[in-house]
Amino acid sequence: MRPPRTWTCWAAAGLAGGLLIVGCSTETKQRWLHVFFTGVDGTNALSASLPTAVVTNVVAVTAAVPAAPVVYMHPLYAERKCDACHLTGQSEQLRATGSALCLECHQKLIANAKFIHAPIRDGRCDQCHEAHKSTERFHLTHRAQELCLSCHTQVEMAKVNAHASLGTAECLSCHDAHRSDQKGLVKSVK
């Protein structure tokens, strides 16, 4: 009762094909994760298996590329606890929308505050923070000072009495980005 030869052959081909698909998707996934976590495509690693002459060229090309910048990540993203914010580890869908998601864990940030910065009141953490990562500390969308000045113009700020000698002073040296118990989001002296 041996199965016909063709059947065995197809089964083997099927198995090989299956392995191939698994092999491919794992590699793609790893490459994807690599890009995801370092922002650098791992394809240059291939140069190790290229002939020397070609490697020289590759080196010449990559030498002109500036060093990869530091990447700041949300700790849970870095720990790959994707389901802390997404419905499942595989889903793009979020467990909650807007700042409701963020405030599930970060209530302390604004709890009992007398004054809350307007964008936060409006539920827009994303106006200043990337959800996953960025090249700015606290995974901000832009450098903090640029962020402040993208909504509050230098010209308008110069008109504020308290800013008489503002110059290029860091906004955050006097203001809190999120909340304060003092008027004008002035940092509370603790």
How far apart are CB 88 and ligand HEC at their closest, in Å? 10
Q: Which is nearer to ligand HEC, 58 or 103 (CB)?
A: 103
Q: Give the residues lining the site for ligand HEC (CB under 6 A).
A: 72, 74-77, 80-82, 84-86, 92, 94, 99, 101-106, 109, 115, 117-120, 124-125, 127-129, 131-132, 138-140, 144, 147-152, 157, 160, 162-163, 166, 169, 171-175, 177-178, 183-186
Q: How far apart are CA 162 and CA 117, in angstroms?
A: 18
Contact 12, 6 (CB under 8 A): no
Q: Which residue's C-beta sits nearest to ligand HEC?
A: 184
At residue 17, the 3 state secondary structure works out as: helix
> Please, what's the largest Cα pairwise distance for the chain?
96
Nearest in space to 166 (alpha carbons), one of 177, 181, 156: 156
| Distances 50 to 46, 76, 102, 111, 186 between C-alpha atoms, Å | 7, 38, 46, 58, 59
> Which C-beta is closer to ligand HEC: that of 47 or that of 142?
142
Least distance from ligand HEC to the Cβ atom of residue 23, Å: 21
CB of 145: closest distance to ligand HEC in angstroms? Answer: 7
